[in-house]
Structure 1
Amino acid sequence: MSTSQAPKRRITQRQIAERAGVSQATVSLVVNGKAEALSRIPASTRDRVLAVIREAEYVADPVARSLAGHGNHLIGIFTYEPAFPTASMDFYATLLSGIEGAAESLGYDLLLFTSAPVKEGKRSVFHPYSRIRLADGCLLLGREIASEELERMVETDFPFVVVGRRDTPGIPYVAVDYVTGTATLVEQAWEAGHRGFALLAVASEGESTRDRREGFTSALAGHGVEGDVLAVDPDDIASAWRWLRATEATVAFVESPADALGLHRQAAKEGIAVPDDLSIVVLADPSRAREEDPDFTRLSPPRERLGAEALALLSRILDPEVEVPVEAQRLTLACEITPGKTLAAPHAQPDQNGVSPS
């Protein structure tokens, strides 16, 4: 008969802190035994933490003890989708620039973790050869991150901040307010006279896509109107164009700048003038716009600031002398609007008798 047992799950520093009635930062200082830091902790507090540790048979990760969060000033960047393909660069280029600038000013070096294999277009930070604990903490980037992965990150007691809003409770993040930005553009189109609205979204259930959709639908619901919505296949813009024309919408809200450019080209092929015959509003800002590209009316997410604020938040979480309140671990930035030249009043529509208003 086998006497083997499942390995005992290691208690986390967060759980130790809760049992000892101290902060997680205090537990970290005790576990890592730095004389300079321990001198600031009352002996009674230190003894209480050590008693909980002995009772729980806690053994600190030796790599984490020697490397993570103790003055080596290394911040990891983990991307759940490849960061460098052309399709991803619109998002990642300025974001990484913001992270780099903040790292320089705060005295951090950056580690980009790339060894995780890509499976079905995604990675996992928990792959067998993960070296994420070489860093003090990590920024997580990705349109979609499974809630199970984020919950597991919290359980590991490893400091991290996600770039982008997440529904998973207890996740520190810095995000962009796409709901308000999208709703504001819908109101501008409504005030310009548009009554036929279509949304061509990215085929994703990530929070940023859902936030744009919420802004679109909620703003129209305020006027008692429902817009048409399509998840675009980026490899088949022609079908998306046919769908758009079938809706008879006078204004198209497009999530992806690349899709918007494709639709603009389709319009030109058919002699449809933008914005005279069809207005196009883009819900993102291309980071590599060419001079000959249309000047789209668009949302302009502050990507560079987004990256900088995410790293700044992580640096505060890492600081053992700083207590970051839970409510301060979720930051949402306003999304600017670039007026552009692709939103205009629609042509006067004929009434039911086919007569155009004078």
Structure 2
Amino acid sequence: MGRRVTQRDIARMTGVSQATVSVVLNETGTVRIAPETRQRVLDAIRATGYVADVVGRRLADRSNRILGVFTYEPVFPSATADFYHPFLVGIEQRAEQLGCDLLLFTSGPHRMRLADGCIVLGRSIGRDELARLVAEHHPFVSVGRRDSPDVPYVGADYGAATAALVASAVGLGHRRLAYVGTGGPAESHLDRLRGFADACLAAGVFATHEPRRDDTLTDAVRRVLAAGVTGIFLEEPADAAELIAALAGHGRDVPGDVSVVVLGEPTRAGATPPPFDVTRFRTPRREMGWQAVDRLTEIVGGGSGSDTASRQTLLACELVPGETLKSASASKEST
């Protein structure tokens, strides 16, 4: 097959459900399987060389192999380009490998106990809600870093990725930089702004934060240009095309006059793509979903992953050079 054989593959080959394959593999006596059906499954297992995943088997000893996914905001993808799609792909792929079923919750967290454990997904999750989940001792893992020592999560190291891009800009001669975006309250935005501010401070360069109140990007651009900024770090990549157009409206070329860096991927489906390959970083979204499933199965299984310190993981983001971060000339720095 060119990939690892899963329980779903065995089920398709033998014409039974994945649950039936699981029962045969785990030799449980609680469910009766017809002898000919059991033999058909065993023959397929031998023929394909299927090997059960150790973590999945440990989960099976303690649970019903049902993992929940609870979303605190609308995340079900409307297109493959949707921001949340890779997270869900990673979750689904790893759950399939482990022989687990997924249960999507949309009506409220009070129903999470229908699953053995739950993956929570969303940019903004209230601290009170997270504290309640911890207090109830129901196994869960957050996709995304959370500001709580008790919350297990798999997140992206946005701060380090942003700092690395600041270092690239400084290395190209930029000495006046701006961060355009909210900078919070979501941890993913806080991390980006913190990485930007710390890197600028360490490099000894001018930094300003333009939070974009209720006005347009054109107004934000006017303010940062008045401050002599030659490099703009944009929090929401979906606004990249609008930002570049706003700079053009002020007579500034990208990247000839002003460099632009975007911090991740667009979070709004259908965003207008910019006219350039923008310098950015790539969030390891599929890997985050995948590892969240692994972390959850460890917690459910009571393994080493039940220790809080080992359950909080940040994955590195991949830097994408792009075409919009270029050298800053002396004349631009003096504007």
Does the pair score TM above 0.5? yes
Paired residues of 1:203 and 1:232 also in contact (CA < 8 A): no
Q: 2:224 aligns with which of 236, 239, 244?
A: 244
Deviations 1:199-227 (A, max 9, x none): 01236312111111111111111123341
4+ aligned runs moved over 3 Å, structure 1: 68-71, 84-87, 268-271, 286-293, 320-324
Deviations 1:241-260 (A, max 9, x none): 33332332100001111122
Paired residues of 2:256 and 2:326 also in contact (CA < 8 A): yes
The equivalent residue for 1:332 is: 314
Shift of 1:270: 4.3
The equivalent residue for 2:13 is: none
Deviates more, 1:225-234 or 1:246-255: 225-234
Shift of 1:284: 0.6
- Aligned partner letter, 1:311: V
Q: 1:135 aligns with which of 111, 115, 121?
A: 115
Distance change (3 Å), C-alpha of 1:348 and 1:90: farther
Using the alignment, how far apart are the partners of 1:214 and 1:72 within structure 2?
Answer: 42
Q: Helix, strand or coil for the counterpart of 2:184? A: coil
The equivalent residue for 2:93 is: 101
Shift of 1:188: 0.6
Q: 2:191 aligns with which of 197, 208, 211?
A: 211
Using the alignment, how far apart are the partners of 1:275 and 1:341 within structure 2?
Answer: 8
Q: How does 1:77-116 map to 2 (within 5 A)?
A: 77-84=69-76, 90-116=82-108
The equivalent residue for 1:168 is: 148
Q: Helix, strand or coil for the counterpart of 2:325? A: coil
Distance change (3 Å), C-alpha of 1:235 and 1:134: farther
Q: 1:304 aligns with which of 286, 297, 312?
A: 286
The equivalent residue for 2:205 is: 225
Shift of 1:349: 1.8
- Aligned partner letter, 2:309: E
Deviations 1:298-339 (A, max 9, x none): 011111101111111001111146663332111111111000
Paired residues of 1:299 and 1:338 also in contact (CA < 8 A): yes
Distance change (3 Å), C-alpha of 1:146 and 1:90: same
Shift of 1:77: 1.2
Q: How does 1:18-29 map to 2 (within 5 A)?
A: none
Using the alignment, how far apart are the partners of 2:117 and 2:294 within structure 1?
Answer: 12
Shift of 1:350: 7.0
Using the alignment, how far apart are the partners of 1:294 and 1:80 within structure 2?
Answer: 33
- Aligned partner letter, 1:214: R
- Aligned partner letter, 1:318: V
Taking only the aligned residue pairs, the percentage that are identical comes to 42
Q: Helix, strand or coil for the counterpart of 1:315? A: helix
The equivalent residue for 1:199 is: 179
The equivalent residue for 1:181 is: 161
Using the alignment, how far apart are the partners of 1:265 and 1:351 within structure 2?
Answer: 22
Distance change (3 Å), C-alpha of 1:72 and 1:351: closer
Paired residues of 1:198 and 1:247 also in contact (CA < 8 A): no
- Aligned partner letter, 1:194: H
1:157 has 2:137 as partner: yes
1:319 has 2:301 as partner: yes
Using the alignment, how far apart are the partners of 1:193 and 1:203 within structure 2?
Answer: 25
Which has the greater radius of gyration?
A: 1
Paired residues of 2:119 and 2:292 also in contact (CA < 8 A): yes
Q: 1:144 aligns with which of 124, 129, 153?
A: 124
Unaligned runs of 5+ in 2: 1-27, 31-59
The equivalent residue for 2:5 is: none
Distance change (3 Å), C-alpha of 1:150 and 1:158: same
Q: Give the TM-score normalised by structure 1.
A: 0.69
Unaligned runs of 5+ in 1: 1-33, 37-67, 117-124
